């Protein structure tokens, strides 16, 4: 809880993604604070909140530039959460478009010299020669599918255009259509204003749809239509909108299997799979671990404003021997944590997380580790599932969204499993992703 003056100081001193502002702030008037906030940051989404507001207050707030105006009626928290998510997504997209249209937009670096990575890059460079062919990137979670999609965009004729990214598994089904295609004011209950969708924002550039395998059947049909005609209608709209967008899709799932099982449209699969590219798992390119580790060490030391720390040979050997089930993302998280919390001048073996420090062999990646599957012992599936969830939460330091992505399940499924296995929950549940 902050006063209007304190909120202004925070906005001046650090980046702020969104503000929830009460109409009554003791002696201060929330509308006056709104005016001063938007004077400092004209693009800042501000959601006004009140228990006693009138229609005139709401009209004045919107005219002054408020993103939304909510009354504290019963269950208003759920509506506030939805509005905040939309505001945060809008802020993220604006910053991303500005960044990717800036002078460093093409600076996409892929670390590694392994033959497997070089094969993927070779196919990317060939795909970049076409500015319209759809690309389908396969790969395990955390292997770098998003980075490869950015690399392709930066090395294509569309590099000067926007690059917009959407994780199809991170947005509820009822909101995903609006995110992709936009909506007209009044199209549904919460549509208080007109909104452009990601296809419009990506016009002239690239739209990256991550985890495309999570898209529902109805949205799959609409996406197929857009890919074939380059036209769509906003939710609640009647006019056709034509865009010039290259679509890159990615998945960690076996889409061919999903087609056979009836969970993914065959015609959409063939439409997306014009140029298939497979991202190798980190365990399949161990020769890149050293280069990646040194890259991330330099990166996080630079962010912390300190000289690069050294990597002890014993620590590097443990990294080379580890199968990295979370791929490059897990390696990056480990380096960040160690540089931040453990190492002062050198990363040593004892600084590494326990799963690395134990020296678990690379060959155990495919068939499980000796600690999980002792010789001659068969564990119940539920027990193995619980162990996998516990491990994912350790790797992701309790972040449930990242853990669900690594496990290849939805966040809701993870929450259900946590309750089922009586695993300890934490306060992050209430704030994660907001």
Helix, strand and coil content of the chain, in percent to the nearest 5, comes to: 50, 10, 40
- d(Cα 257, Cα 291) in Å, to the nearest integer? 35
The neighbour count for residue 41, using CB atoms within 10 Å, is: 15
> Contact, 316 vs 133, CB < 8 A?
no
Q: What is the 3-state secondary structure (H, E, C) of 364-415?
A: HHHHCCCCCCCCCCCCCHHHHHHHHHHHHHHHCCCCHHHHHHHHCCCHHHHH
Q: Considering the chain, tell me which residue range(s) the CATH 1.10.10.60 domain(s) occupy.
A: 379-434
For 4-84, CATH gives 3.40.50.2300
Retrieve residue 239's tokens: 């006019």
Alpha-carbon torsion (21, 24, 25, 29), positive or negative: positive
Q: Considering the chain, tell me which residue range(s) the CATH 1.10.8.60 domain(s) occupy.
A: 285-370
The torsion angle over the Cα atoms of residues 334, 335, 340 and 343, rounded to 10 degrees, is 110
Query: CA 122 → CA 119, 203, 277, 339, 415, distances in Å?
Result: 5, 26, 10, 33, 40
> Contact, 315 vs 352, CB < 8 A?
yes
pLDDT on residue 32: 85
pLDDT on residue 10: 78
- d(Cα 8, Cα 243) in Å, to the nearest integer? 39
pLDDT on residue 96: 57
At CA 163, angle to CA 273 and CA 205, rounded to 5?
75
Mean pLDDT by 10 residues, the chain (434 residues): 72 76 78 84 84 74 82 79 81 60 49 85 84 90 90 88 89 84 80 84 93 92 95 89 95 92 94 92 90 92 87 91 90 92 86 75 42 58 82 79 83 85 54 38
Retrieve residue 230's tokens: 């380059």
Prediction pTM value: 0.59
Say which CATH class 285-370 falls into.
Answer: mainly alpha
222: phi then psi, degrees, rounded to nearest 5: -70, -40
- d(Cα 349, Cα 356) in Å, to the nearest integer? 9
> Contact, 368 vs 375, CB < 8 A?
no
Q: Considering the chain, tell me which residue range(s) the CATH 3.40.50.2300 domain(s) occupy.
A: 4-84
Architecture of 113-280 per CATH?
3-Layer(aba) Sandwich (3.40)
Classify residue 236 as exposed, middle or buried by CB count within 10 Å of its CB (0-12, 13-18, 19+). Answer: middle
Q: Considering the chain, tell me which residue range(s) the CATH 3.40.50.300 domain(s) occupy.
A: 113-280
Listed in order, strand segments (DSSP E) in 171-306 are 182-183, 195-196, 206-210, 231-232, 241-242, 246-251, 275-278
At CA 324, angle to CA 357 and CA 138, rounded to 5?
175
Helix (H) or strand (E) holding 163: strand 163-167
- d(Cα 123, Cα 103) in Å, to the nearest integer? 26
Architecture of 379-434 per CATH?
Orthogonal Bundle (1.10)
- d(Cα 65, Cα 45) in Å, to the nearest integer? 8
Alpha-carbon torsion (118, 204, 106, 149), positive or negative: negative
Q: Which of 106, 251, 92, 97 is nearest to 163 (CA)?
A: 97
């Amino acid at each position: 809880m902050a006063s209007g003056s304190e909120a202004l100081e925070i906005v001046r001193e650090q980046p702020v993604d969104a503000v929830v502002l009460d109409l009554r702030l003791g002696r201060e008037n929330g509308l006056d604070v709104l005016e001063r906030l938007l004077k400092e940051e004209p693009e800042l989404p501000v959601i006004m909140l009140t228990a006693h507001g009138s229609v005139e207050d709401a009209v004045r707030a919107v005219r002054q530039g408020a993103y939304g105006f909510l009354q504290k009626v019963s269950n208003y928290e759920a509506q506030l959460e939805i509005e905040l998510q939309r505001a945060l997504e809008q802020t993220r997209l604006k910053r991303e478009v500005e960044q990717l249209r800036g002078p460093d937009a093409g600076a996409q670096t892929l670390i590694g010299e392994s033959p497997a990575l070089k094969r993927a890059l070779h196919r990317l460079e060939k795909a970049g020669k076409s500015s319209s062919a759809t690309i389908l990137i396969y790969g395990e979670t955390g292997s770098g599918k998003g980075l490869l999609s950015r690399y392709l965009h930066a090395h294509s004729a569309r590099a000067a255009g926007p690059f917009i990214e959407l994780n199809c598994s991170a947005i509820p089904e009822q909101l995903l259509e609006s995110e992709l295609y936009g909506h007209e004011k009044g199209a549904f209950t919460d549509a208080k204003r007109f909104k452009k969708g990601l296809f419009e924002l990506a016009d002239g550039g690239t739209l990256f749809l991550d985890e495309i395998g999570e898209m529902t059947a109805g949205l799959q049909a609409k996406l197929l239509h857009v890919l074939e005609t380059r036209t769509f209608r906003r939710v609640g709209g009647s006019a056709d909108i034509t865009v010039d967008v290259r679509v890159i899709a990615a998945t960690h799932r076996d889409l061919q299997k999903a087609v056979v099982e009836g969970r993914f449209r065959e015609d959409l699969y063939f439409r997306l799979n014009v140029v298939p590219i497979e991202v190798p798992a980190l365990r399949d390119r161990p020769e890149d671990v050293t280069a990646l580790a040194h890259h991330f060490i330099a990166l996080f030391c630079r962010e912390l404003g300190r000289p690069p720390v050294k990597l002890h040979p014993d620590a590097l050997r443990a990294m080379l021997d580890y199968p990295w089930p979370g791929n490059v993302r897990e390696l990056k998280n480990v380096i960040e944590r160690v540089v931040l919390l453990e190492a002062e001048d050198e990363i040593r073996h004892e600084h590494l997380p326990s799963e690395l420090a134990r020296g678990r062999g690379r060959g155990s990646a495919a068939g499980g580790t000796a600690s999980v599957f002792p010789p001659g012992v068969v564990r119940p599936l539920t027990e193995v599932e619980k162990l996998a969830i516990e491990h994912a939460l350790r790797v992701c330091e309790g972040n449930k969204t990242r853990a669900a992505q690594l496990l290849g399940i939805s966040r809701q499924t993870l929450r259900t499993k946590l309750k089922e296995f009586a695993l300890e929950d934490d306060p992050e549940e209430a704030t994660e992703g907001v």
